[in-house]
Amino acid sequence: MTNPYRLNNFASLQQSNPVLYNDLSQQAFFTNATIRKANLLRVYPHMNNNLTNNQESVGQAKTHSLELNVEKRFSKGFNFNLGYTALKVQEKNFYFNQFDAEPSWRTSNNGRPHRLVATGVLEWPFGKGKRFGSGAGRALHLLIGGWQTAATYEFQPGGLVDWGNVFFYGQDVGEVNNVSKTLDKWFNTANFETRPASAPNEYNRRTFPTRVPDLRSDKTSQWNANLAKNLPLAERVNMQLRLDVLNVQNRSQMQAPVTDPTSTNFGRVVSQSAAINRWLQVQARVTF
């Protein structure tokens, strides 16, 4: 397109502001006869892509949540707590195309649609003052009494998978979710343009969403547990020996799949996150 910012259109500056005119004459943006149409479609055509507007409050967020808590207080050697949160967060905080005048709405990754956390503690019913073996001697009580088990469980879906600008030839974006998830094929890779030479560039108007509904990375599903033994050493002295097991299932937390259609790993999960695998910890504590 003809460059409307070409310096020839502002020849009067040479007399009114020669310093500015001389500065502009050394910048290609003001000396080129033509300009890309994509630049002219931007909100601020004379600025580069790194322009940041921190003055206008154009972003928005909508949140709907449901919280549920079930608790059994400690009694008869047992307690239990379960917490559940359902959450839906929509955010208007990104520009779908460079030339969009306003940001667009999308589902936020600042929350998960479901989150479940449960904890419980159980004192074994053996030894003095318990249901079984209350009349046991000191030696037997030291063996069978004072045992305690605790566990926690955490579950939540993974974050929505983020996409760059891609060409998709299917009839419905929901087709992408139509697959039995495996690490080698996390989503349906059919109907995508995979040839690098035919992939979209920065001047193509975007049609594929930044996040496909319900297409999420690996979920969190983790059990932690411990086994403790309380030993009365004297009237006011007690020792506790405890084994903690973090990530009982030794489950690996995987990262999001590759979403670049031109990659040979397109649709595959190829890396693990920084989450730890099974961790064993032994500790002893004396209280007096």
Give the C-alpha separation, 21 to 1, whole Å: 23
pTM of the model: 0.77
Q: Within its chain, how far is the Cα of 56 from the centroid?
A: 27
Which residue has tokens 């995979």?
Answer: 194
Domain ranges of the chain: 58-287
Kindly provide the b/e burial profile for residues 269-285, where b requires at least 16 CB atoms within 10 angstroms of the residue's own CB.
beeeeeeeeeeeeeeee
Cβ within 8 Å of residue 52, ≥6 positions away? none
Instruction: Give tens-digit pLDDT for 27-78.
Output: 999 999 999 888 888 777 887 766 677 777 888 999 999 999 999 999 888 9
Mean of the per-residue pLDDT values for the chain?
90
pLDDT tens digits for range 235-275: 789 899 999 999 999 999 999 999 999 999 999 999 998 76
What gap in Å lies between CA 128 and CA 178, rounded to an integer?
Answer: 59
Which residue type, as a one-letter code, is found at position 134?
Answer: S
User: Do 87 and 67 contact (CB within 8 A), yes or no?
Assistant: no
Cα–Cα dist 57/48, whole Å:
21
Outline where the chain has alpha helix (H). 13-16, 18-24, 28-31, 37-40, 138-144
8 Å CB contact between 245 and 163: no
